[in-house]
Each structure stands twice: as structure tokens, then as C-alpha cells.
């Protein structure tokens, strides 16, 4: 029965690709003083890192439909009393261009503080609409000035099921987050930076084309223990805000292993998860019954 439930849930999730309206991405852009340094363009010219980042964001975000939910959060630049250059939501292309172009490179790299702000905004959005993809993209050329906060918040972000991407801008070595997040890309020139940002948005719309039969074949031989844990992950959304004083397994509903993202699901369903599974089981039983009745009718004929 556990396998039936997990396969049914998987088939539902795979039956359609996410649309732009279900795409929720917060970009945390490093605008610290080091971003004022030069980097190369594809044509061999020099350009300030901050200018390359602005151009890349304007180009990629400008190509998205207006209903795409995107937020841009700066570490230092403040507009109208807020570090949100673009609030998470369906901002127009004109708004994005005007606000992103106001980025300036100065100050430090309080990355941990803004990991929380970006993740909390995504969690609030997920709490309201439940469906869709939720992604946190960090674009930075250096290490955080508040590593203790990064250590406190990153495991919680991963535990809550938010996909974390990091792009290292013109760094001589990989960022320390490279092996601890879902995806890491190096961008050592302007063109590579634009491509890296574009790839992040493209991935949220990726459709592997798997049909129902293929999904069932892939999942039908899973051990019951694994299927049970998968159900618990699917039904435990964990949308509570991040807490600097919480342990990595606290306040999230999931447990994590450092540097690997989500792992074992916590024991027990949430009320919503239990109700969903109840209805799923009922629906599955009805479908099976209809199949059996149909086959019996065919045999009688």
C-alpha cells in the first residue's frame, strides 16, 4: 500500500511540467566593495563585476514572462529603506531594469543575514500557494563576513526543501558553499555569468518527459522503508521561518547531514499530509476497482 501511495503521488507530480507562474526564485546579489573590481568580457575587454552582474540580471530576468515570481535582494544597496531591489512577486520587466541598475558596489558581505531574508520570503510564498518550485540563487565573488549565521541558516534552508544555487563570480578558488549546496557554477567572465544565471531559471522549468508508465516502473521496486520516508518528505512542507538558535534538525520537520542537503524524513505525518494520503488511498482503491470490473466485463464478453 505504501508503494501505491508514493507512486500515485509521483505520477501526479510528474504529470505536468511547472509553469512560469509556479516559479519562485530569490536572487541574493553580492554588491560588496570587491564587486567593484574588474573582470573579463567574452571579447577580452574589462568590466566591473557589479556591472556584469547587473547586465546579466537585466538580460535574463527581462526575458521572463511578467507573471514569473522573482525577487532580487542586495547585501548593501538600499532602495526606499529596503534591501529588496525587487520584492518577490511578478514584477514587470521595466521595474526590474530600473531597480537592478541602481546596484552599487560598497560595504561588506553579510551573506548569512540575507540567506535568511531570501529563504523566509520563499517560505512565506510556499505557505500561501504550496505548489511550485522554490529556489535561492546566490551570486557572490567572496566569502561571507558572518560565517556563523551561514552555518546556522544553510542547513535549515536545505532541510526545508529550498533548492540553493551559488554562482562564484571571478573567484580564483571555489566558494566555500560549492560542495554544500545543490548546484555550484563558476563564472569567470561576463558571458559565463549571464549563462549561469540563465541556467538556474531554465532548470526550474526542466521537464524530463517521463510518462506515467515510466514513473511507475521507476518507483514500483522501491523498498517500503524508502517509499514511507518519501511520503513523509512530500507531506511535510516545513514553512517555518529560519531560527539562528535552532539546530539543523529543529523547527524544520526534516533532518539533514552537513553539506549534503535533505536526508531522512522525520517520523510522522502532518495533518495535511495525513488527509492527502487518505484521499489518495481512496482514489487509488476506486481506480483499481474500476480496472478489475472492466477486465471482468471483457472476459464475460
User: Are residue 163 and residue 38 in the same domain, yes or no?
Assistant: yes
Distance of alpha carbon 274 from alpha carbon 282, whole angstroms: 12
Q: Is residue 123 part of a domain?
A: yes
- Kindly state whether residues 32 and 69 are assigned to the same domain: yes
* pLDDT given for residue 145 in this prediction: 97
- Asked if the structure places residue 255 within a domain, the reply is no
Same domain, 70 and 147: yes
99 and 58 inside one domain: yes
Q: Which of 67-81, 121-135, 253-267, 286-300 has the lowest mean pLDDT?
A: 253-267
pLDDT band at 79 (very low <50, low <70, confident <90, very high): very high
Q: What is the pLDDT of residue 279?
A: 52
Banded model confidence at residue 83, pLDDT cuts 50, 70, 90: very high
Residue 72 predicted with pLDDT over 80: yes
Q: What distances in angstroms separate CA 271 from CA 236, 237, 268, one per listed residue?
A: 9, 11, 9
Q: Which of 203, 227, 258 is the last residue of a domain?
A: 203
Q: Contacts for 7-15 with beta carbons within 8 Å, 24 or more apart?
A: 7/215, 7/216, 7/219, 7/220, 8/280, 8/283, 8/284, 9/231, 9/234, 9/280, 10/215, 10/219, 11/212, 11/215, 11/216, 14/208, 14/210, 14/212, 14/215, 15/212
In a domain, 262, yes or no: no
Domain end residue (candidates: 179, 203, 227): 203
39 in the same domain as 88: yes
Average pLDDT of 27-38? 98
The answer as to whether 151 is a domain residue is yes
Checking if the pLDDT of 293 tops 70, the result is no
Q: How confident is the model at residue 21 (pLDDT cuts 50, 70, 90)?
A: low
Q: Per-residue pLDDT for 25 more than 70?
A: yes
Q: Are residues 175 and 220 in the same domain?
A: no
Domain CATH number, residue 36: 3.40.50.410
Confidence of residue 49 (pLDDT cuts 50, 70, 90): very high
% pLDDT > 90, the chain? 50
CB-facing half-sphere around the CA of 7: CA atoms within 13 A: 19
pLDDT tens by residue, 185-241: 999 999 999 999 999 988 865 543 444 444 445 445 555 655 555 455 444 547 889
Task: Give, as one character, the DSSP assignment of residue 88.
Answer: E
Q: Is residue 252 part of a domain?
A: no
pLDDT value for 233 = 47
Q: Is 153 inside a domain boundary? A: yes
Half-sphere exposure of 145 (CA within 13 A, CB side): 12
pLDDT at residue 276 in the model: 46
Containing structural domain, residue 181: 20-203
Better pLDDT: 81 or 65: 81
Read off the pLDDT band of 22 (50, 70, 90): confident
Q: Do residues 7 and 27 share a domain?
A: no
pLDDT band at residue 16 using 50, 70 and 90 as cut-offs: very low
Residue 245 lies inside a defined structural domain of this protein: no
Question: Is 254's pLDDT higher than 90?
Answer: no
Residues 95 and 188 in one domain: yes
Are 223 and 179 contained in the same domain?
A: no
For the entire predicted model, the pTM comes to 0.70
Same domain, 176 and 84: yes
In a domain, 257, yes or no: no
DSSP assignment of 260-282: TEEEEEPSS--HHHHHHHHHHHH
Which percentage of the chain shows pLDDT scores above 70? 63
pLDDT value at position 42? 82
Q: Are residues 86 and 70 in the same domain?
A: yes
* Amino acid 211: pLDDT: 42
**What is the tens place of the pLDDT at every residue in 140-187?**
999 999 999 999 999 999 999 999 999 999 999 999 999 999 999 999
61 and 80 fall within a common domain? yes
The answer to whether the beta carbons of residues 217 and 39 sit under 8 Å apart is no
Read off the C-alpha cell for 66.
Answer: 511578467
Judge whether residue 277 has pLDDT over 70: no
State the average pLDDT for the chain: 77
How many domains are contained in the chain? 2
- Residue 211 cell numbers, joined: 510518462
pLDDT value of position 225: 59
Nearest Cα to Cα of residue 7 among 219, 210, 207: 219
Amino acid at each position: 500500500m505504501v508503494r501505491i501511495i508514493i507512486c500515485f503521488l509521483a505520477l501526479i507530480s510528474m504529470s505536468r511540467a511547472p509553469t512560469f507562474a509556479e516559479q519562485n526564485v530569490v536572487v541574493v546579489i553580492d554588491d560588496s566593495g570587491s564587486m567593484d573590481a574588474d573582470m573579463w568580457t567574452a571579447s577580452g575587454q574589462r568590466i566591473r563585476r557589479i556591472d556584469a552582474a547587473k547586465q546579466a540580471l537585466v538580460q535574463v530576468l527581462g526575458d521572463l514572462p511578467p507573471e514569473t515570481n522573482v525577487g532580487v535582494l542586495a547585501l548593501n544597496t538600499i532602495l526606499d529603506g529596503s534591501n529588496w531591489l525587487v520584492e518577490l512577486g511578478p514584477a514587470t520587466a521595466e521595474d526590474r531594469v530600473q531597480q537592478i541598475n541602481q546596484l552599487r558596489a560598497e560595504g561588506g558581505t553579510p551573506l548569512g543575514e540575507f540567506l535568511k531574508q531570501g529563504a523566509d520570503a520563499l517560505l512565506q510564498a510556499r505557505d500561501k500557494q504550496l505548489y511550485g518550485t522554490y529556489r535561492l540563487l546566490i551570486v557572490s565573488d567572496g566569502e561571507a563576513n558572518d560565517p556563523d549565521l551561514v552555518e546556522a541558516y544553510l542547513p535549515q534552508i536545505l532541510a526545508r526543501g529550498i533548492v540553493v544555487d551559488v554562482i562564484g563570480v571571478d573567484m580564483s578558488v571555489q566558494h566555500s558553499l560549492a560542495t554544500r549546496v545543490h548546484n555550484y557554477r563558476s563564472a569567470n567572465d561576463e558571458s559565463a555569468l549571464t549563462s549561469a544565471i540563465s541556467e538556474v531559471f531554465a532548470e526550474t522549468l526542466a521537464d524530463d518527459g517521463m510518462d506515467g508508465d515510466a514513473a511507475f516502473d521507476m518507483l514500483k521496486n522501491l523498498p517500503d522503508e524508502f517509499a514511507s520516508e518519501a511520503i513523509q518528505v512530500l507531506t511535510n512542507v516545513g514553512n517555518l521561518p529560519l531560527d539562528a538558535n535552532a539546530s539543523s534538525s529543529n523547527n524544520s520537520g526534516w533532518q539533514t547531514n552537513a553539506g549534503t542537503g535533505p536526508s531522512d524524513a522525520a517520523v510522522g505525518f502532518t495533518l495535511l499530509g495525513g488527509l492527502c494520503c487518505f484521499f489518495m488511498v481512496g482514489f487509488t482503491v476506486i481506480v483499481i476497482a474500476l480496472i478489475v470490473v472492466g477486465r471482468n466485463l471483457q472476459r464475460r464478453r
